[in-house]
Amino acid sequence: MCRCESKEVCPRYVVPFEAAPAQLSKLRRAVRSQLGSWGASAVVEEAELVATELGANVIKHVGRDAAASLVLELRERRVRLEVHDRSRSLPAPLAEACADSDECGRGLHLIASMAHDWGSVRTATGKFIWCELSLKPAGCEDRLGRAAAVLSAYRQPNNTSSLGPAALDETVTDVIADLLHWLAVQGGDPDSALGRAQMHYEAEAA
C-alpha cells in the first residue's frame, strides 16, 4: 500500500514493499505514477532504474522477503529516492567493490553515474540508501557526461579517453549488451528499449 505522509501538499511518498523480484515492478509503477503527479516526468526513467537497483540490492544483501520501504521526496529542482531496510550493514565504497568483485559494484556505479548525489545512512532500526536526481532538463552535455561516467566505471581502472576508436566501440557495445541483459532479467523488453533509444538518439541528433 502506498501512502502520502501529508494530507495536503504531498512532497513525500512512501511505498512499503517486501524484498522479492515480483515487487520491483510495483516500485517502478509507483515511481512513474507519483513523479507524474508531481510533474517530474523528466526523470521517471532514471528514477525507475534507481528504485529497481536499490530494491534488488535489498534482495541480494538483506534477503528475500525482507521488509523495506521506498521513499520519494520532491525537493527544489531535485527528486530524492530512499530505500530503507532493517540491516545496518552499509554498502562498500565503490573502489572496494571493484577490488573485491568481478561485478565491480556495477549497480551502484549506474546509480552514481546518473545521480546528482547519493549515499547511505545508518538508522536506529537499520539503514537507508539515498539518491537525488536533478530535475534540470537533460541536454546534450548532461547526456555526454553521464555516458562518460558509465564508460569510465565499466572499464576501470582503464581510462576510456585513451582507448582507440575500435576499442571504444567495443566497450560501448558491451555496455549496451549488458544493459539489455539486465533489462530482460527485470522483466523488460530489450527490443523495445533499444528501439526507443535509437529513436531518441536520431531525434536529438537531428
The helices-and-strands tally (H runs, E runs) of the chain is 7, 6
3-state secondary structure of 81: strand
pLDDT tens sequence across 154-196: 665 445 455 677 777 887 888 888 888 888 888 888 888 888 8
How far apart (Å, rounded) are the C-alpha atoms in residues 190 and 177? 9
Stronger pLDDT, 96 or 183, i.e. the higher one = 183
Which residue intervals of the chain bear CATH 3.30.565.10? 3-134
pLDDT tens digits, residue range 107-157?
677 777 778 888 899 999 999 999 999 886 555 556 666 677 677 666 654
Which CATH superfamily hosts domain 3-134? Answer: Histidine kinase-like ATPase, C-terminal domain (3.30.565.10)
